[in-house]
Amino acid sequence: MKAGNQVLRIRFSKHGLMKYIGHLDVMRYFQKAVRRAGIDVAFSEGFSPHPIMSFAQPLGVGLESNGEYMDLEICSLEIAGRPTPETKGSGSSSEDCLTASAGPTPDTEGTGSSLEDCQSLGAGHSAQETEGGGSLFENCQTREDRQESSLSRKAALRNILEALNSVAAEGIRAEQAVILPEKTENAMASVASASYTLTFRQGREPSFPLKEAISDFLSAEEVLVKKKTKKGERELNLRALVYELSLIEGQDREGGNKAETDPIPSLNSQQKGSCAEISLYMRVCASSGDNVKPKLLIQTLYDKYGAGTLSDTDLFITRENLYDREGKALIDRGCPY
């Protein structure tokens, strides 16, 4: 990465007809969207320069998601054709900083604000030395500058999200943006697990007691299954790769929390009307070597009870988020300011 550049991590959602768009097309989409949004993106060198961006684990075609990730290297936080973002608040950014740091410091027991205390110190040339070195007035100024810079960066990140969403196709929406610290692993290398929500289509619910099947699976020490790979089949212990599994009952996909958190309809009204109220939540291994697909886990439960083969149309699957080896969501690795 060039000196002075920064890396943004953007979480975006993918719903509706966009779930039928493959990973390579999503990459090409964002190359165009970033350019149209006017983001000051960094380009690779050579005869065929392209925006420097990388994506986390590809999402299967037909799956929706609330937690897809893109790392984007930028030269600055400015947006072409847009004014420099101003911090929100009743007054100036200095006043907003002052509000955020209200209250006297341990060294200034006056009744005024910390900024007034700093100003009085400066006016009287009271150069009280602090333990960290430098006068108290200088330290107050530095703290206020940091707070003002933080508010400015937060507004700039919000401006980038608005710019991306203003040129977005229906079904894709940028949800969050953070600035990554230096030497942070890229999104693809960071992924260790993924969470999913699965909803059974009406009339396709399992014929066996699902709650009992989940309990039996979680209490087992070992569940051996055969997984198809490019080189054939291999046996793995599925139980060790499932970190969370629970049944969500009485939750209609058409209403409730889903309608509040998902502003973009994921299905048309006819499809929504055919959704059952039985859903599953799971968090499974998503590393490159032992990636677990949700359908494999559900099919394993079906096989135990002899319930037949699970069809691709039996379930609506939504990926909720991606996590690193410490169990943190990838977006939490950055600084939201």
Report the b/e string of 204-231 with b at 16+ CB within 10 A: eebeeebeebbeebeeeeebebebeeee
Q: Given pLDDT bands bounded at 50, 70 and 90, which one contains residue 216?
A: very high
Predicted TM-score of the model (pTM)? 0.74
C-alpha closest to that of 70 among 151, 197, 172, 198: 172
Q: What is the pLDDT of residue 228?
A: 79
Taking only the tens place, the pLDDT of each residue in 161-183 is 999 999 999 999 999 999 999 88
Q: Count CA within 13 A, CB hemisphere, residue 260.
A: 2
Please give the domain boundaries of the chain with CATH numbers for all domains.
6-84+153-188 (3.30.70.580), 93-152 (no CATH), 191-332 (3.30.70)
Q: What are phi and psi of 277, to 5 degrees?
A: -100, 15
Q: What is the pLDDT of residue 337?
A: 59
Q: Given pLDDT bands bounded at 50, 70 and 90, which one contains residue 148?
A: low
Q: Given pLDDT bands bounded at 50, 70 and 90, which one contains residue 51?
A: very high
